Structure 1
Amino acid sequence: MAGSAAERIAAPAPALSIGRLAGSAGVAVSTVRFYERQGLVEPDERSAAGYRSYTADAVQRVRFIRRAQRLGFTLREVGDVLRLSDRPELITFGDVGDQVAEKLVELDQKIVDLQRVRDALALLIETGPTHPRCPVIAAIT
Protein backbone atom coordinates (compact mmCIF):
# COMPACT_ATOMS: atom_id res chain seq x y z
CA MET A 1 0.00 0.00 0.00
CA ALA A 2 1.45 3.37 -1.01
CA GLY A 3 1.60 5.77 1.94
CA SER A 4 -0.26 5.91 5.20
CA ALA A 5 -3.90 6.93 5.59
CA ALA A 6 -2.79 10.38 6.79
CA GLU A 7 -0.64 10.84 3.68
CA ARG A 8 -3.52 9.82 1.42
CA ILE A 9 -5.89 12.23 3.18
CA ALA A 10 -3.40 15.11 3.05
CA ALA A 11 -2.58 14.57 -0.62
CA PRO A 12 -3.95 17.36 -2.79
CA ALA A 13 -6.78 16.52 -5.13
CA PRO A 14 -5.64 16.06 -8.71
CA ALA A 15 -6.07 19.01 -11.03
CA LEU A 16 -9.00 18.86 -13.41
CA SER A 17 -8.84 19.59 -17.11
CA ILE A 18 -11.50 21.90 -18.49
CA GLY A 19 -13.28 18.86 -19.94
CA ARG A 20 -13.33 17.03 -16.60
CA LEU A 21 -14.50 20.19 -14.82
CA ALA A 22 -17.30 20.68 -17.33
CA GLY A 23 -18.34 17.02 -17.13
CA SER A 24 -18.30 16.98 -13.35
CA ALA A 25 -20.34 20.19 -13.17
CA GLY A 26 -22.79 19.05 -15.84
CA VAL A 27 -22.08 21.86 -18.30
CA ALA A 28 -20.42 22.20 -21.69
CA VAL A 29 -16.76 23.16 -22.02
CA SER A 30 -17.92 26.32 -23.81
CA THR A 31 -19.89 27.24 -20.67
CA VAL A 32 -16.76 27.01 -18.51
CA ARG A 33 -14.87 29.14 -21.05
CA PHE A 34 -17.70 31.68 -21.01
CA TYR A 35 -17.68 31.84 -17.21
CA GLU A 36 -13.93 32.29 -17.33
CA ARG A 37 -14.27 35.23 -19.77
CA GLN A 38 -16.86 36.74 -17.40
CA GLY A 39 -14.39 36.45 -14.50
CA LEU A 40 -16.55 33.97 -12.59
CA VAL A 41 -14.19 31.00 -12.80
CA GLU A 42 -10.43 31.01 -13.03
CA PRO A 43 -8.10 28.14 -13.81
CA ASP A 44 -5.77 27.26 -10.98
CA GLU A 45 -2.93 27.26 -13.46
CA ARG A 46 -2.08 26.84 -17.12
CA SER A 47 0.45 24.48 -18.55
CA ALA A 48 3.26 25.69 -20.80
CA ALA A 49 1.07 24.60 -23.71
CA GLY A 50 -1.80 26.75 -22.42
CA TYR A 51 -4.01 23.96 -21.07
CA ARG A 52 -6.18 25.04 -18.16
CA SER A 53 -6.28 23.09 -14.93
CA TYR A 54 -8.79 23.61 -12.15
CA THR A 55 -9.15 22.57 -8.55
CA ALA A 56 -12.06 20.46 -7.34
CA ASP A 57 -13.55 23.65 -5.82
CA ALA A 58 -14.20 24.89 -9.35
CA VAL A 59 -16.80 22.14 -9.83
CA GLN A 60 -18.87 23.49 -6.93
CA ARG A 61 -18.39 27.04 -8.18
CA VAL A 62 -19.68 26.19 -11.67
CA ARG A 63 -22.61 24.27 -10.18
CA PHE A 64 -23.42 27.27 -7.99
CA ILE A 65 -23.34 29.62 -11.00
CA ARG A 66 -25.71 27.39 -13.00
CA ARG A 67 -28.11 26.94 -10.09
CA ALA A 68 -28.11 30.65 -9.30
CA GLN A 69 -28.90 31.43 -12.94
CA ARG A 70 -31.80 28.97 -12.89
CA LEU A 71 -33.08 30.74 -9.79
CA GLY A 72 -33.12 34.04 -11.66
CA PHE A 73 -29.82 35.63 -10.68
CA THR A 74 -28.03 37.54 -13.42
CA LEU A 75 -24.37 36.82 -14.07
CA ARG A 76 -23.56 40.22 -12.59
CA GLU A 77 -25.39 39.28 -9.40
CA VAL A 78 -23.68 35.88 -9.35
CA GLY A 79 -20.35 37.63 -9.71
CA ASP A 80 -21.19 39.94 -6.82
CA VAL A 81 -22.08 36.98 -4.59
CA LEU A 82 -18.89 35.15 -5.56
CA ARG A 83 -16.75 38.23 -4.88
CA LEU A 84 -18.45 38.62 -1.50
CA SER A 85 -17.69 34.98 -0.77
CA ASP A 86 -14.12 35.10 -2.07
CA ARG A 87 -13.08 38.33 -0.35
CA PRO A 88 -15.62 39.30 2.32
CA GLU A 89 -13.12 41.58 4.03
CA LEU A 90 -13.09 43.91 1.01
CA ILE A 91 -16.84 44.46 0.83
CA THR A 92 -19.05 46.21 3.34
CA PHE A 93 -22.73 45.37 3.59
CA GLY A 94 -23.50 48.91 2.49
CA ASP A 95 -21.93 48.02 -0.86
CA VAL A 96 -24.45 45.26 -1.46
CA GLY A 97 -27.34 46.16 0.85
CA ASP A 98 -29.45 47.88 -1.81
CA GLN A 99 -28.85 45.02 -4.25
CA VAL A 100 -29.88 42.49 -1.61
CA ALA A 101 -33.08 44.40 -0.83
CA GLU A 102 -33.97 44.66 -4.54
CA LYS A 103 -33.32 40.97 -5.08
CA LEU A 104 -35.52 40.11 -2.10
CA VAL A 105 -38.43 42.08 -3.57
CA GLU A 106 -37.86 40.41 -6.95
CA LEU A 107 -37.78 36.93 -5.39
CA ASP A 108 -40.92 37.60 -3.35
CA GLN A 109 -42.75 38.58 -6.55
CA LYS A 110 -41.44 35.50 -8.33
CA ILE A 111 -42.70 33.31 -5.47
CA VAL A 112 -46.17 34.88 -5.81
CA ASP A 113 -46.10 34.31 -9.57
CA LEU A 114 -44.92 30.72 -9.22
CA GLN A 115 -47.60 29.98 -6.61
CA ARG A 116 -50.23 31.34 -8.98
CA VAL A 117 -48.95 29.09 -11.80
CA ARG A 118 -48.80 26.14 -9.41
CA ASP A 119 -52.39 26.71 -8.37
CA ALA A 120 -53.43 26.97 -12.03
CA LEU A 121 -51.70 23.68 -12.85
CA ALA A 122 -53.41 22.01 -9.90
CA LEU A 123 -56.76 23.36 -11.11
CA LEU A 124 -56.05 22.06 -14.60
CA ILE A 125 -55.31 18.60 -13.21
CA GLU A 126 -58.45 18.75 -11.07
CA THR A 127 -60.84 19.95 -13.76
CA GLY A 128 -59.14 18.45 -16.82
CA PRO A 129 -60.02 19.75 -20.27
CA THR A 130 -63.50 20.83 -19.15
CA HIS A 131 -62.24 24.15 -17.78
CA PRO A 132 -63.56 26.97 -20.06
CA ARG A 133 -60.22 28.82 -20.23
CA CYS A 134 -56.76 27.46 -19.66
CA PRO A 135 -55.95 28.51 -16.06
CA VAL A 136 -52.21 28.52 -16.79
CA ILE A 137 -52.59 31.28 -19.36
CA ALA A 138 -54.72 33.27 -16.95
CA ALA A 139 -52.15 32.78 -14.16
CA ILE A 140 -49.24 33.94 -16.26
CA THR A 141 -51.01 36.91 -17.84
Structure 2
Amino acid sequence: MKIGDLAHKSGCSVQTIRYYEKRGLLVNPNRTSSNYRDYSDTHLQQLLFTKRCRALKLSLAEIQNLFTLRDEPEGNCQSVTQLVDQHITEVESQISELHSLKRQLTELRTRCGDTKTVSQCGILKTLGAEKT
Protein backbone atom coordinates (compact mmCIF):
# COMPACT_ATOMS: atom_id res chain seq x y z
CA MET A 1 0.00 0.00 0.00
CA LYS A 2 1.12 3.55 -0.60
CA ILE A 3 1.91 5.92 2.23
CA GLY A 4 -1.41 7.75 1.88
CA ASP A 5 -3.31 4.47 2.33
CA LEU A 6 -1.17 3.61 5.33
CA ALA A 7 -1.84 7.04 6.80
CA HIS A 8 -5.58 6.62 6.32
CA LYS A 9 -5.69 3.11 7.81
CA SER A 10 -3.47 3.97 10.78
CA GLY A 11 -4.83 7.42 11.56
CA CYS A 12 -1.28 8.82 11.42
CA SER A 13 -0.20 11.64 9.15
CA VAL A 14 2.18 11.04 6.27
CA GLN A 15 4.74 13.22 8.06
CA THR A 16 4.45 11.11 11.20
CA ILE A 17 4.93 7.91 9.22
CA ARG A 18 8.05 9.31 7.58
CA TYR A 19 9.36 10.49 10.94
CA TYR A 20 8.82 7.08 12.54
CA GLU A 21 10.50 5.48 9.56
CA LYS A 22 13.55 7.75 9.97
CA ARG A 23 13.66 6.96 13.71
CA GLY A 24 13.66 3.22 13.00
CA LEU A 25 10.22 2.48 14.40
CA LEU A 26 9.14 1.13 11.02
CA VAL A 27 11.10 -1.37 9.02
CA ASN A 28 12.14 0.02 5.65
CA PRO A 29 9.40 -0.72 3.14
CA ASN A 30 10.03 -2.34 -0.20
CA ARG A 31 10.05 -0.08 -3.24
CA THR A 32 7.90 -0.44 -6.31
CA SER A 33 9.40 -0.39 -9.81
CA SER A 34 8.59 3.33 -9.90
CA ASN A 35 10.47 3.77 -6.57
CA TYR A 36 7.38 4.39 -4.41
CA ARG A 37 7.41 2.98 -0.90
CA ASP A 38 5.27 -0.16 -0.71
CA TYR A 39 3.94 -0.61 2.83
CA SER A 40 2.46 -3.86 4.14
CA ASP A 41 0.15 -4.93 6.93
CA THR A 42 3.29 -5.36 9.06
CA HIS A 43 3.91 -1.62 8.76
CA LEU A 44 0.30 -0.95 9.70
CA GLN A 45 0.65 -3.14 12.81
CA GLN A 46 3.91 -1.38 13.75
CA LEU A 47 2.22 2.00 13.40
CA LEU A 48 -0.80 0.98 15.45
CA PHE A 49 1.49 -0.43 18.17
CA THR A 50 3.47 2.82 18.18
CA LYS A 51 0.30 4.89 18.25
CA ARG A 52 -1.00 2.96 21.29
CA CYS A 53 2.34 3.43 23.03
CA ARG A 54 2.35 7.17 22.29
CA ALA A 55 -1.19 7.39 23.73
CA LEU A 56 0.38 6.06 26.95
CA LYS A 57 3.02 8.81 26.67
CA LEU A 58 5.85 6.34 26.11
CA SER A 59 8.89 7.95 24.54
CA LEU A 60 10.16 6.91 21.12
CA ALA A 61 13.19 5.35 22.83
CA GLU A 62 10.90 3.31 25.08
CA ILE A 63 8.86 2.21 22.08
CA GLN A 64 12.02 1.21 20.22
CA ASN A 65 13.05 -0.79 23.28
CA LEU A 66 9.67 -2.55 23.29
CA PHE A 67 10.08 -3.42 19.60
CA THR A 68 13.51 -4.86 20.37
CA LEU A 69 12.12 -6.89 23.25
CA ARG A 70 9.18 -8.06 21.13
CA ASP A 71 11.61 -9.37 18.54
CA GLU A 72 12.84 -11.90 21.12
CA PRO A 73 9.61 -13.82 21.84
CA GLU A 74 11.34 -16.41 24.03
CA GLY A 75 12.98 -13.73 26.17
CA ASN A 76 11.95 -12.92 29.72
CA CYS A 77 9.03 -10.52 30.09
CA GLN A 78 10.73 -8.88 33.08
CA SER A 79 12.36 -6.24 30.88
CA VAL A 80 8.95 -5.21 29.56
CA THR A 81 7.45 -4.93 33.03
CA GLN A 82 10.50 -2.98 34.25
CA LEU A 83 10.06 -0.51 31.40
CA VAL A 84 6.39 -0.04 32.26
CA ASP A 85 7.17 0.22 35.99
CA GLN A 86 9.74 2.94 35.25
CA HIS A 87 7.17 4.79 33.16
CA ILE A 88 4.64 4.52 36.01
CA THR A 89 7.22 6.07 38.35
CA GLU A 90 7.76 8.93 35.89
CA VAL A 91 4.00 9.50 35.59
CA GLU A 92 3.66 9.56 39.39
CA SER A 93 6.41 12.17 39.55
CA GLN A 94 4.68 14.26 36.89
CA ILE A 95 1.39 14.02 38.81
CA SER A 96 3.15 15.21 41.96
CA GLU A 97 4.67 18.14 40.06
CA LEU A 98 1.25 19.02 38.61
CA HIS A 99 -0.33 18.96 42.10
CA SER A 100 2.40 21.32 43.29
CA LEU A 101 1.78 23.59 40.32
CA LYS A 102 -1.95 23.63 41.05
CA ARG A 103 -1.28 24.60 44.68
CA GLN A 104 0.99 27.43 43.53
CA LEU A 105 -1.56 28.69 41.02
CA THR A 106 -4.38 28.46 43.58
CA GLU A 107 -2.31 30.46 46.06
CA LEU A 108 -1.51 33.00 43.34
CA ARG A 109 -5.19 33.31 42.47
CA THR A 110 -6.02 34.33 46.06
CA ARG A 111 -3.80 37.40 45.61
CA CYS A 112 -6.37 39.26 43.52
CA GLY A 113 -10.08 39.90 43.50
CA ASP A 114 -12.09 40.35 40.34
CA THR A 115 -12.99 43.98 41.03
CA LYS A 116 -9.49 45.40 41.14
CA THR A 117 -7.82 47.29 38.30
CA VAL A 118 -4.82 45.86 36.51
CA SER A 119 -2.57 48.28 38.38
CA GLN A 120 -3.92 46.85 41.67
CA CYS A 121 -3.71 43.22 40.55
CA GLY A 122 -2.12 41.13 43.27
CA ILE A 123 -1.29 38.35 40.82
CA LEU A 124 0.79 40.65 38.63
CA LYS A 125 2.41 42.25 41.69
CA THR A 126 3.34 38.83 43.09
CA LEU A 127 4.74 37.64 39.76
CA GLY A 128 6.72 40.85 39.42
CA ALA A 129 8.03 40.92 43.00
CA GLU A 130 11.75 40.63 43.37
CA LYS A 131 13.11 38.10 45.82
CA THR A 132 15.28 39.53 48.58
For the criterion TM > 0.5, the same-fold answer is yes
Who is 2:89 aligned against?
Answer: 105
The 1:48–1:78 alpha-carbon spacing in structure 2 relative to 1, beyond 3 Å, is same
1:61 shift after superposition: 1.8
Question: Within 1, Cα distance between the matches of 2:56 and 2:9?
Answer: 21
Question: Within 2, Cα distance between the matches of 1:62 and 1:102?
Answer: 23
Q: The residue matched to 1:87 in structure 2 has which SS?
A: coil
- Partner amino acid for 2:54? Q
Can you list the C-alpha shifts for 1:109-128, whole angstroms capped at 9, x where unaligned?
Answer: 557789x7xxx9xxxxxxxx
Specify every segment of 5 or more residues in structure 2 that has no aligned partner in the other structure, as ranges: 103-109, 112-132
TM-score normalised by length of structure 2: 0.59
Report if aligned partners of 2:66, 2:80 keep a CA contact under 8 Å in 1. Answer: no
Question: Within 2, Cα distance between the matches of 1:77 and 1:101?
Answer: 12
Q: Percent identity?
A: 31
The 1:113–1:65 alpha-carbon spacing in structure 2 relative to 1, beyond 3 Å, is farther
Which structure has the larger Rg over C-alpha atoms? Answer: 2
Who is 1:61 aligned against?
Answer: 46
Who is 2:116 aligned against?
Answer: none
Aligned with residue 73 of structure 2, among 66, 88, 103? 88
1:66 shift after superposition: 2.2
Can you list the C-alpha shifts for 1:50-109, whole angstroms capped at 9, x where unaligned?
Answer: 2111212322321221232232111000111112112335x6567667544322312445
Specify every segment of 5 or more residues in structure 1 that has no aligned partner in the other structure, as ranges: 1-15, 121-131, 134-141
Report if aligned partners of 1:43, 1:53 keep a CA contact under 8 Å in 2. Answer: no
Who is 1:52 aligned against?
Answer: 37
Question: Within 1, Cα distance between the matches of 2:81 and 2:12?
Answer: 31
- Partner amino acid for 1:29? V
